[in-house]
Amino acid sequence: MNNKQLTWSQRGALWLRLGIRLGLTALAVWLAARFGRPLLSLFAPFLLAEAAVSMAHTYTIDGHVNRDFFTPEEQKDSQICPYDFAPWQEMKGLLFGLIKGKRTPLYFKFVLHLKPELVGKILAAQNCDMPSEQIKALVLTVKYDGSHALLTTGTAYHTFVMNKEPDIIWDKALTGYLSRKNIAYENL
């Protein structure tokens, strides 16, 4: 390293640059604290089926609940293992921890399932003829490619069905939900 002394004007410029970087870092932390968690809370009615976050390293999360981890008594307790997938509320802190920082992720993908108890309510509200038991999941896939986020809806059925009415209802329900949360979106 060069032992050259900086002039006072060079020191001032260096401190100014450092101050600007610290200011921008503080602003980024404030924005993440102010808007990041509420945005992640948007997915509260969902279960996390899978997630992938690509930064300096790629992290992959399988949202399936490992029932063998729990005792037989805990497995029967509907409070401990109510779903096949982890509730978003339990996973959002981990995901927020991966995503926050100075740089945005290169990529992330979340595959979410609407909580089963909400599926029947959405279908009933629209007078859907299909029983909710035929629907395995109402799915929302969130992909971020480094510059744009894309939300894709889907419906998983237990068997093949010709009726696509639940797909249409799910699309309308999700866009209505985004509008109520003041999240801007564009139908593609």
pTM greater than 0.85 (yes/no): no
Domain membership flag for residue 142: yes
Read off the pLDDT of residues 150-165 as tens digits, 9 standing for 90 and up: 889 999 999 988 888 9
Same domain, 8 and 61: no
- Min mean pLDDT across 83-92, 98-107, 135-144 is at 98-107
Same domain, 18 and 80: no
18 pLDDT above the threshold of 70: no
The residue ranking higher by pLDDT, 104 or 60, is: 60
Domain membership flag for residue 76: yes
Domain membership flag for residue 112: yes
- Min mean pLDDT across 20-24, 50-54, 114-118 is at 20-24
Distance CA 155, CA 139 (A): 6
Name the pLDDT band for 40 (thresholds 50, 70, 90): low
Same domain, 5 and 81: no
122 pLDDT above the threshold of 90: yes
Encoded amino acid at 143, one letter = K
Q: What percent of the chain is modeled with pLDDT above 70? A: 78
Domain membership flag for residue 146: yes
**Which pair of tokens denotes residue 151?**
């939300």
Structural contact between residues 95 and 146, judged by C-beta atoms closer than 8 angstroms: no
What is Dmax (Cα atoms) for the chain?
80
Distance CA 105, CA 117 (A): 33
Name the pLDDT band for 39 (thresholds 50, 70, 90): low
15 pLDDT above the threshold of 60: no
Same domain, 2 and 78: no
Name the pLDDT band for 1 (thresholds 50, 70, 90): very low
